[in-house]
């Protein structure tokens, strides 16, 4: 193996001072010793590492001149079975602590905070508790609660029963009824393991790791979760939740010594060093490849072309940064895009419908995994698929790959290292998480965050033409630890599981004494009492409305023109990247064209353009851009949800030096695309179908809400028909029809017609870049696109209005339910819009969380107002109940009207909404959000005025809108469930129109 020399890529302070970097030794608390520091030029942050002298706890601080501060405490959690002990502990730890002995401090603090992120994660070998906020007071409030929760949790047995698992009688107070399993994690994992991709990964891990923690499901297998005892939970906590087994990671502009003072005073001074080291055992290595076959559950009767085939290898340790980057380079060379040799072979293969979602490198565990394979295959193709993958590798090992392909991958890695993200998750938290796995494995955390030195070593080594062939030989072809997994569909697994669970419960009941039955009844009563108790929330710290910032930050823009077309520019700190956008008006579309619009935008940058085929286009994009993509925007006006307008946005990103190349590729994408590549279009549709089908159990609540609201406005109807459950069903039918060449040709013709209409539509531009780079991006776009023509009699997109009640039930392979109700409400310009926006978190905080999650056992539930579509939506997620949850939605409105509410509850709901409005994004994302809001009349002034109205909502306003809009007889319903549940009498009585995915 062409191993790179593992040179130190972190400098001690003395070295930094010698090289004249402008960094001073940071001040630390006396209980901590400063280990080392480094300035990361590409991210403009200083990274400091400290160690607690008594416990050995590590503190990694990323110092940045940013107002959003992040905290994370990570603990090494190494389960030895699939009972989900680490996952259940993650939930139970947040249910009350020594200093805050309330039943639900985590969810209570969500309500009493201005956090921009607050959660907890269970990975395969670590558990993390992170939060982020812009408010200093809020930061230390949350820090106090998190530190006490993690290190001094009460672990009440009733919380274990609620969050983990328990048995109850179907009628909790009647021991003559059947027993049932309940528990939040139990139901969460039933939902998670209903997804074929989850089963695929867990089965692959089971065979790749024969002897260590990755052999097991850290989230918990539903069949194993009931085996976990309360005593085992406490024992795991005592051994794993100790500061010596923890790492503190922080980001932002707070001083390290100030943070360490809190760590020391609130936690560390109460502990001595742990006398054991918790770590992952290396996997036993196979001496010969193996093949295994297992099955996953499906409700589809036709199981043809539903098999997953994956070939996987166990590689070296992820904490060896050079080896990790080598593996990433190899994986990207093989699979980065459609022009990559392995991806090309998988996409063009007749052995399956699409590449497996498992394709690529997984490097979060101690030892890395590389996988390649196919979805939509059949069991008899296993050997042929394996041979195809091996042959691709042998060809590359023999012939190598073009150097420009390696350079393109290195370019992508450079962009990834430099780009400031943060639209989905705070950027500081993303940086923290990038170093967390190394910290948990006791590797070099600083090196994992600052990749630049290792990337330079990789770039130098990759100049050797035998570098990639050598990696293929050493990591893959000559590596005997290879597992080929064939996962076949089985239509009866779900039923067998249900029968097995009922048999297990019946056996348990039969073996119970009357005393044991009485204990179950008593425990159910005690839990119900605990869930109903009202804790004093003032035990917990909080922010108030007085802590809310006066102003809402919205990026400002400047209007210009580019060759007679309007242009809006935003000067933002993008760290040298540029983000040009071409925005075209959507034309009026007939139903046939509207039906393929989302496929058209998804595929636009994936097809050949500018005279190239799709492979050459993919190569060109990878070499000089960070990606080109297209999407549509459709929204109602501020005062009429039926008056919908729309745009298509083509966006790209690149380093400044590649601006001209990016502009040219964007022009090609908008004006000259190859819709004659029929086989490529077939591949893309098959891939899209596979991805959409696999997403259902992960986003079932969103799909149920789309279905329930599909009669509220043109945008909700189109969302359901194109991207929702109806869209998935239509996509499957379309994919099945394309074996007919005539149908394929007709689809390509529709794409071409749509493309011509959009190419000729009025256009404008939007640019995000650093101030000094805006002019060059503007000139580049002007040179590429030329003068815009004046279009007469352009018919703008204006779909027909709709406002009707919908009641739908969709069945799929799931062991849990997703339920939604929707009501017609008001747009953002209406005086009731602010109160409706507050009503969602108010109902969730005060009623729905307790009824649906704590009592009902669902993983989650809530409600929200969507003023763009003038609709209010209730939802539940991974829910064991269906009709009971729908009833709870109605009961929450009754609770609103009949219960006396405290001003505190209103304030908490307002804080929830304000924190969402004020949440920062990436520099480019904030500008894009501001621009897109302006496109539809949501000006900065309107947004600030709406925020002001939010702060002025009263309890009487909530009662008024509750009485005005929520007539149960007018409710629309959307449900995702399975065939067995759909056939029950109580569900049939709902009168829902039934569809099967």
CATH 3.40.50.720 fits 807-996, yes or no: no
- The sign of the dihedral angle between the CA atoms of 451, 452, 453, 457 is positive
Tell me if 976 sits within 8 A of 790, measured CB to CB: no
- The whole-number average pLDDT for the span 347-372 is 96
pLDDT of residue 912: 95
pLDDT at 2: 35
Condensed to tens digits (0 to 9), the pLDDT of residues 242-267 reads 999 999 999 999 999 999 999 999 99
Q: For residue 883, what pLDDT is reported? A: 96
* pLDDT the model gives residue 6: 29
- Distances 401 to 341, 344, 841 between C-alpha atoms, Å: 9, 14, 54
Tell me the pLDDT tens digit for each residue of 739-750: 899 999 999 999
DSSP assignment letter at 861: E
Average pLDDT score over residue span 230-238: 97
Burial group, residue 647, by CB count within 10 angstroms (0-12, 13-18, 19+):
buried
Q: By C-alpha distance, which of 196, 198, 188 is closest to 222?
A: 188
Fold match, 558-699+708-785 / 807-996: yes
Q: Pairing mode, if any, of strands 818-824 and 871-877?
A: antiparallel
Is it the case that residue 60 has pLDDT exceeding 70?
Answer: yes
Q: Cβ–Cβ contacts within 10 Å for residue 152, how many?
A: 17
Percent of the chain with pLDDT over 90: 92
Relative orientation angle of helices 741-759 and 678-694, to the nearest 10 degrees: 90
Q: What is the CA radius of gyration of the chain?
A: 28
pLDDT tens for residues 191-205?
999 999 999 999 999
User: Among residues of the chain, what percentage have pLDDT more than 70?
Assistant: 97
Whether 777 has a pLDDT exceeding 50, the answer reads yes
- The sign of the dihedral angle between the CA atoms of 869, 874, 877, 879 is negative
Specify the pLDDT at position 16.
Answer: 28
For the residues 433-457, what does the mean pLDDT come to? Answer: 93
User: DSSP string spanning 444-461?
Assistant: -HHHHH--HHHHHHHHHH
The rounded distance, in Å, linking the Cα atoms of 313 and 292 is: 14
Distance CA 269, CA 31 (A): 9
Residues 280, 281, 282, 287, CA torsion sign:
negative
- Give the pLDDT of residue 666: 97
b vs e for 131-145, b when ≥16 Cβ sit within 10 Å of the residue's Cβ?
bbbbbeebbbbbbbb
In the predicted model, is pLDDT for residue 569 greater than 70?
Answer: yes
The pLDDT value recorded for residue 668 is 97
Nearest partner of 607 among 663, 693, 685, judged by Cα: 685
Q: Provide the pLDDT for residue 1.
A: 35
Surface-to-core class of residue 627, CB atoms within 10 Å of its CB (0-12 exposed, 13-18 middle, 19+ buried): middle
State the CATH class of domain 29-270: alpha beta
Q: Which residues contact 771 (CB under 8 A, 6 or more apart)?
A: 571
Cα-based distances in Å from 504 to 163, 179, 223, 295: 21, 10, 10, 22
Is residue 858 over pLDDT 60?
Answer: yes
Can you tell me the distance from the alpha carbon of 202 to that of 296, in angstroms, rounded to the nearest whole number?
A: 11
Decide if 83 contacts 225 (C-beta within 8 A).
yes
d(CA 516, CA 520): 6
The predicted pLDDT at position 789 comes to 74
Contacts of 856 (CB under 8 A, 6+ apart): 876, 879, 880, 881, 884, 885, 888
| Each residue's pLDDT tens digit, 395-417 | 999 999 999 999 999 999 888 88
- The Cα 447–Cα 461 span in angstroms is 18
Q: Which fold has domain 558-699+708-785?
A: Cytochrome Bc1 Complex; Chain A, domain 1 (3.30.830)
Average confidence (pLDDT) over 897-901: 96
Alpha carbons 109 and 540: distance in angstroms, whole number: 8
Question: In this predicted structure, what is the pLDDT of residue 22?
Answer: 54
Model pTM greater than 0.85? yes
Please state the domain extents for the chain.
Answer: 29-270, 290-490, 558-699+708-785, 807-996
Task: Show Cβ contacts of residue 354 under 8 Å, excluding neighbours closer than 6 positions.
Answer: 346, 347, 374, 375, 376, 683, 686, 687, 689, 690
The whole-angstrom distance between residue 147's C-alpha and the CA centroid of its chain comes to 26
Q: Among residues 233, 80, 252, which one has the least CA distance to residue 153?
A: 233
Three-state helix/strand/coil letters over 600-612: HHHHHHHCCECCC
Q: What are phi and psi of 506, to 5 degrees?
A: -65, -40
DSSP assignment of 362-384 equals: E-SSSEEEEEEEEEEE-GGGHHH
pLDDT of 949 strictly over 50: yes
CB 45 within 8 A of CB 179: no
What's the CA gap between 210 and 698, in Å, rounded?
A: 28
Compute the half-sphere exposure of residue 741: CA atoms within 13 Å on the CB side of its CA. Answer: 2
Instruction: Give CA separation, 673 vs 621, 677, 784, in Å.
Output: 14, 10, 16
The upper half-sphere exposure of residue 979, i.e. CA atoms within 13 Å in the direction of its Cβ, equals 11
Q: What is the pLDDT of residues 660-692, one digit of tens each?
A: 999 999 999 999 999 999 999 999 999 999 999
DSSP state of 938: -
Give dist(CA 458, CA 342) in Å, integer: 21
Q: Give CA–CA dist 847/297, Å, rounded.
A: 35
- Say whether 321 sits in a helix, a strand or coil: helix
Q: What is the pLDDT of residues 810-819, one digit of tens each?
A: 999 999 999 9
Decide if 226 contacts 848 (C-beta within 8 A): no
Q: Is the pLDDT of residue 15 over 50?
A: no
**Concatenated DSSP letters for 570-636?**
EE---TTEEEEEEEEEPBP--HHHHHTHHHHHHHGGGS-BTT--HHHHHHHHHHH-S-EEEEEEEEE
Give the span between the Cα atoms of 465 and 412, in whole angstroms: 20
User: For 484-488, what is the mean pLDDT?
Assistant: 98
Compute the CA torsion angle 278, 284, 285, 287 (nearest 10 deg). 170
Would you say the C-alpha torsion 352, 357, 360, 363 has a positive or negative sign?
negative
| Backbone φ, ψ for residue 670 (5° rounding) | -85, -25
- pLDDT, residue 645, reads 95
**Has residue 974 got a pLDDT over 60?**
yes
Contact 604, 761 (CB under 8 A): no
Which pLDDT belongs to residue 13? 28
| Statement: residue 959 has pLDDT above 60 | yes
pLDDT, position 14: 28
| DSSP structure class, residue 278 | -
E strands, 210-261, where?
Answer: 246-252
Instruction: For the chain, give the mean pLDDT.
Output: 94
Asked if the model's pLDDT at residue 644 lies above 80, the reply is yes
Is the C-alpha dihedral spanning 11, 17, 21, 26 positive or negative? positive
What stretch of H or E contains 714? helix 714-718
CA angle 646, 647, 648 (to 5 degrees): 140
Three-state SS at 819: strand
Is the model's pLDDT at 147 over the cut of 70? yes
Res 24 pLDDT > 80: no
**23 pLDDT higher than 80:** no
pLDDT at 880 over 80: yes
User: 726-740, pLDDT tens digit by residue?
Assistant: 999 999 999 999 989
What CATH number does domain 290-490 carry, 3.30.830.10, 1.10.1660.10, 3.40.30.10, 2.60.40.10? Answer: 3.30.830.10
Which residues face 561 on adjacent strands? Answer: 566
């Amino acid at each position: 193996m062409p191993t790179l020399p593992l040179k130190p890529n972190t400098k001690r302070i003395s070295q930094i001072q010698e090289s004249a970097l402008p960094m001073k030794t940071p001040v630390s608390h006396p209980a901590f010793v400063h280990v080392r520091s480094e300035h990361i030029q590409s991210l403009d942050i200083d990274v400091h590492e400290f160690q607690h002298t008594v416990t050995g706890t590590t503190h990694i601080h990323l110092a940045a001149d940013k107002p959003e501060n992040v905290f994370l405490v990570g603990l090494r959690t190494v389960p030895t079975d699939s009972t989900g002990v680490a996952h259940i502990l993650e939930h139970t730890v947040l249910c009350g602590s020594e200093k805050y002995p309330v039943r639900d401090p985590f969810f209570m603090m969500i309500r009493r905070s201005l956090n921009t992120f607050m959660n907890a994660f269970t990975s395969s070998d670590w558990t993390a508790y992170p939060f982020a906020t812009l408010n200093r007071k809020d930061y230390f409030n949350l820090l106090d609660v998190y530190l006490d929760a993690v290190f001094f949790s009460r672990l009440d047995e009733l919380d274990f029963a609620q969050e983990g698992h328990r048995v109850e009688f179907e009628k909790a107070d009647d021991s003559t009824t059947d027993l049932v399993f309940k528990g939040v994690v139990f139901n969460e994992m039933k939902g998670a393991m209903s997804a074929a991709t989850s089963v695929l990964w867990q089965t692959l891990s089971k065979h790749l790791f024969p002897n260590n923690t990755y052999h097991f499901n850290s989230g918990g297998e539903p069949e194993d979760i009931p085996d976990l005892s309360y005593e085992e939970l406490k024992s795991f906590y005592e051994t794993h939740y100790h500061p010596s087994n923890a790492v503190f990671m922080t980001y932002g502009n707070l001083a390290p010594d100030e943070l360490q003072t809190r760590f020391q005073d609130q936690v560390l001074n109460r502990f001595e060093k742990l006398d054991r080291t918790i770590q992952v055992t290396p996997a036993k290595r196979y001496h010969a490849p193996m093949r295994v076959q297992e099955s996953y559950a499906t409700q589809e009767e036709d199981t043809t072309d539903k098999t997953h085939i994956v070939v996987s290898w166990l590689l070296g340790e992820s904490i060896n940064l050079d080896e990790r980057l080598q593996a990433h380079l190899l994986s990207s060379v093989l699979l980065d895009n459609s022009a990559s040799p392995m991806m090309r072979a998988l996409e063009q293969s007749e052995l399956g419908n699409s590449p497996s979602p498992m394709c690529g490198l997984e490097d979060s565990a101690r030892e890395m995994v590389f996988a390649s394979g196919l979805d939509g295959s059949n069991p008899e193709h296993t050997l042929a698929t394996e041979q195809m993958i091996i042959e691709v590798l042998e060809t590359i090992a023999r012939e190598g790959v073009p150097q420009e392909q390696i350079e393109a991958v290195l370019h992508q890695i450079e962009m990834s290292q430099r780009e400031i993200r943060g639209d989905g998750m705070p950027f500081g938290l993303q940086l923290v998480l990038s170093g967390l796995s190394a910290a948990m494995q006791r590797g070099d955390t600083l090196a994992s965050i600052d990749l630049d030195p290792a990337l330079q070593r990789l770039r130098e080594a990759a100049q050797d033409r035998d570098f990639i062939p050598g990696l293929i030989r050493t990591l893959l072809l000559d590596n005997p630890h290879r597992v080929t997994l064939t996962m076949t569909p089985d239509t009866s697994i779900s039923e067998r599981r249900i029968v097995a669970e009922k048999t297990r419960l019946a056996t348990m009941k039969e073996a119970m004494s009357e005393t044991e039955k009485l204990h179950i009844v008593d425990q159910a009563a005690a839990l119900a009492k605990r869930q109903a108790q009202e804790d004093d929330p003032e035990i917990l710290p909080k922010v108030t409305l007085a802590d809310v910032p006066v102003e809402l930050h919205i990026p400002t823009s400047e209007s210009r023109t580019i060759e007679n077309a309007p242009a809006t520019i935003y000067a933002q700190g993008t760290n040298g990247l540029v983000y040009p956008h071409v925005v075209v008006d959507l034309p009026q579309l007939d139903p046939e064209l509207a039906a393929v619009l989302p496929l058209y935008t998804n595929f636009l940058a994936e097809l050949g353009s500018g005279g190239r085929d799709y492979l050459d286009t993919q190569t060109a994009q990878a070499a000089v851009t960070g990606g080109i993509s297209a999407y549509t925007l459709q929204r109602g006006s501020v005062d009429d949800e039926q008056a919908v307008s729309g745009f298509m946005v083509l966006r790209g990103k690149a380093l400044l030096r590649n601006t001209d190349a990016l502009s040219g590729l964007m022009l090609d994408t908008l004006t000259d695309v190859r819709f004659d590549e029929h086989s490529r279009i077939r591949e893309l549709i098959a891939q899209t179908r596979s991805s959409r089908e696999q997403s259902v159990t992960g986003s079932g609540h969103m799909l149920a809400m789309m279905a329930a609201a599909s009669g509220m406005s043109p945008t909700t109807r189109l969302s359901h028909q194109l991207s929702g459950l109806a869209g998935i069903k239509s996509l499957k039918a379309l994919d099945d029809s394309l074996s007919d060449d005539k149908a394929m040709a007709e689809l390509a013709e529709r794409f071409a017609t749509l493309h011509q209409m959009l190419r000729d539509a009025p256009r404008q531009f939007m640019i995000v870049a650093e101030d000094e780079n805006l002019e060059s991006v503007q000139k580049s776009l002007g040179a590429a696109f030329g003068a815009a023509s004046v279009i007469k009699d352009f018919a703008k997109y204006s779909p027909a209005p709709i406002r009707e009640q919908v009641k739908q039930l969709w069945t799929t392979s799931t062991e849990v339910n997703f339920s939604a109700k929707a009501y017609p409400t008001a747009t953002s310009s209406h005086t009731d819009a602010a109160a409706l926006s507050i009503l969602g978190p108010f109902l969730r905080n005060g009623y729905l969380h307790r009824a649906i999650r704590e009592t009902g056992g669902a993983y989650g539930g809530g409600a929200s107002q969507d003023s763009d579509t003038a609709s209010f939506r209730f939802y539940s997620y991974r829910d064991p109940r269906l009709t009971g949850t729908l009833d709870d939605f109605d009961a929450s409105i009754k609770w609103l009207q009949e219960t006396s509410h405290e001003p505190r509850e209103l304030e908490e709901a307002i804080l929830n909404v304000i924190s969402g409005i004020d949440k920062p994004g990436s520099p480019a994302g904030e500008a894009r959000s501001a621009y897109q809001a302006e496109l539809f009349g949501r000006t900065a002034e309107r947004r600030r005025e709406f925020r002001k109205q939010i702060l002025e909502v009263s309890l009487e306003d909530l009662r008024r809108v509750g009485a005005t809009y929520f007539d149960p007889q007018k409710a629309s319903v959307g449900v995702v469930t399975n065939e067995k549940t759909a056939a029950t009498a109580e569900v049939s009585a709902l009168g829902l129109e039934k569809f099967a995915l």
